[in-house]
Chains A and B, each alone.
Chain A
């Protein structure tokens, strides 16, 4: 087995999660924000798989399985919302959508 410490994987997934969150904060395009959310979900998945492998506990990998399912559900519903949004407002830029802004 290889000699990469667990912390390297955790630091990598921290960096990936941050990239995802910066993407959500900076971008205007709803589809790219959506992809940044996928980036964050995957960063957390990497943490779970790393812990699962190093602790020899299978629960983490089962959890990743469920996270993938939730991500698939989120993808279909989120993209349907983007479609409905574009149909009604002719835009996918989140700063041009303010119907529900108080």
Chain B
């Protein structure tokens, strides 16, 4: 087995394991820590797909910015005693697990129903797709309008989160 295939299997196993740990931990802080590890595994997977820029952005934006924000909120709320954090296995979680199993089966069957031999290996020109140069070139020509529109979205998110978090809503 070649080295990049080993990388894929190790990172895939790591991503699934850390994903499962994220949704099963009782303490939200350890959930967040495993989610950061999950993002690191995904970064490795992006690198096996030769998407360098997105691998860097994954660490910067997700592991850096978003998870720090999540951890800040967890610490800010000070979710106190562990007693309140206990979540038992009940009927709802069993139903959810059954739905999840069916859902996973469906997705995997749909994706792998008719494997095309054309996509059995990464093409040789894949490394030229994910470079900063190629993405930047496309971003500022074809996708210029969506790129500008996203800045409005971010402005709306900034204003919205300030208003939501600031005002005391008394009911």
- Which one of A3, A23, A32, A58 contacts B129 once the chains associate, using CB atoms below 8 Å? A58
Report the minimum CB–CB distance from A91 to chain B (whole Å).
9
Q: Mark B57-90, 1 if CB is under 8 A from A, else 0.
A: 1100110011001100110110100000101000
**Complex-state Cα separation, A62 to B51, whole angstroms:** 11
Asked whether any CB of chain A lies closer than 8 Å to the CB of B10, the reply is no
Number of residues from A at the complex interface, CB < 8 A: 73
B contact residues around A92 at 8 Å (CB): 77, 79
Asked whether any CB of chain B lies closer than 8 Å to the CB of A88, the reply is yes
Whether B143 pairs with A62 at a CB distance below 8 angstroms is: yes
Number of residues from B at the complex interface, CB < 8 A: 89
**Complex-state Cα separation, A68 to B53, whole angstroms:** 13
Known: A31-B70, A52-B129, A54-B126. A25 touches B99 (CB 8 A): yes
B contact residues around A68 at 8 Å (CB): 57-58, 61-62
**Complex-state Cα separation, A38 to B162, whole angstroms:** 21
Known: A56-B126, A71-B66. A39 touches B19 (CB 8 A): yes
Q: Can you list 11 A-B contacts with CB-CB less than 8 angstroms, sorted by A residue number? A: A10-B111, A18-B107, A19-B20, A25-B95, A31-B73, A35-B23, A39-B22, A52-B130, A61-B129, A61-B130, A88-B169
B contact residues vs A (CB 8 Å cutoff): 2, 4-5, 8, 12, 15-16, 19-20, 22-23, 28, 31-32, 35, 38-39, 42, 45-46, 48-51, 53-54, 57-58, 61-62, 65-66, 69-70, 73-74, 76-77, 79, 85, 87, 92-93, 95-97, 99-101, 103-104, 107-108, 111-112, 115-116, 119-126, 129-130, 134-135, 138-139, 143, 146, 150, 153-154, 156-158, 160-162, 164-165, 167-171
A contact residues vs B (CB 8 Å cutoff): 1-12, 14-23, 25-29, 31-32, 34-36, 38-39, 42, 45-46, 49-50, 52-59, 61-62, 64-66, 68-77, 79-84, 86-88, 92, 99
